[in-house]
Amino acid sequence: MHERHHDKTFTAEDYDEQYYVGHIRRYEEGVYANRVRFISKYLEGMSGGLLLDAGCGMGFFSEIALELGAKVVSLDFSPSALRVYRARAERKERAKDPRRLLAGSVEELPFPDGTFDFAMAIDVIEHLYHPDRMLEEVLRVLKPGGRAIIETDNDATWFTKRGFRRINHWFESRTPVYQRLAKIRAEVPSSSLHVETFDIHTLDARLQKIGFSVVKSETFPYLSAPARDAVIRMPGLRSISNALGGENCMIFLAEKPRR
């Protein structure tokens, strides 16, 4: 776990439409393709259920969940994010029912206990000043046996450790997706607005402390680099990668106890 210190406290105003421009391009130009692939794999098991997208942002994963057959309620505290989502969703004939797209805080969810079959918080927990409150609220609004997907950066990744940083950069910098990301960063500079980051052990412990049972967790790379990824998948090397801290993103599937 790593707390980042800033000169100011971030509010909804910091998550303005300009903040989202770079993220939109990352999705639309395939930079986030690996994240989409991994997260979609978890969403496939949630078809037919009522799913809360807590901190939906521009709604990319709400849209994927809808396409996979879930009934989705999307919530975010940023008016700009919701405006962007509405504009994109209406072009796809989505989110016409205003009850499915709500303004609100993930730390104080406006739903009764046991409302949802599933929940997800994608790229959210690292932006919060009180991450435990969100986890407690997600646990509260899930039905017994309900499951949540939590995805965030992995603070302990070996990708950024001394001795490995240059190797990882060598693999990634030779891919088209890296070149697209570099172009977006140059043209649309933006802050990450991260407050607190976790590794796979600290987030596992936090989830269990709140009351979740961790069903599954794994790390995966933010950017796909086929040569590097093929090496990591070789017999025996996957466990070594995990022992070194894993890749630079991580995803958890956690369950509310059936009691």
Highest mean pLDDT (candidates 189-198, 214-223, 229-238): 214-223
pLDDT digits (tens, 9 = 90+) for 73-88: 999 999 999 998 988 8
pTM: 0.91
Ordered by where they begin, the domains of the chain are 2-156+190-226+248-255 (3.40.50.150)
Q: Confidence class of residue 99 from pLDDT cuts 50, 70 and 90?
A: very low
- Beta carbons within 8 Å of 170's beta carbon, 6+ residues apart: none
Helices 60-67 and 33-43, axial angle in degrees (round to 10): 40
The C-alpha atoms of residue 170 and residue 98 are separated, in whole angstroms, by 47
Largest CA distance in the chain: 52
**Predicted local distance difference test score (pLDDT) of residue 204:** 97
At 71 the three-state DSSP class reads strand
**Predicted local distance difference test score (pLDDT) of residue 95:** 46
Q: Confidence class of residue 2 from pLDDT cuts 50, 70 and 90?
A: low
pLDDT digits (tens, 9 = 90+) for 126-137: 999 999 999 999
- Whether the pLDDT of residue 166 is over 50: the answer is yes
Residue-wise DSSP of 164-225: THHHHHHHHTTSHHHHHHHHHHHHS-------EEB-HHHHHHHHHHHT-EEEEEEEE-SS--
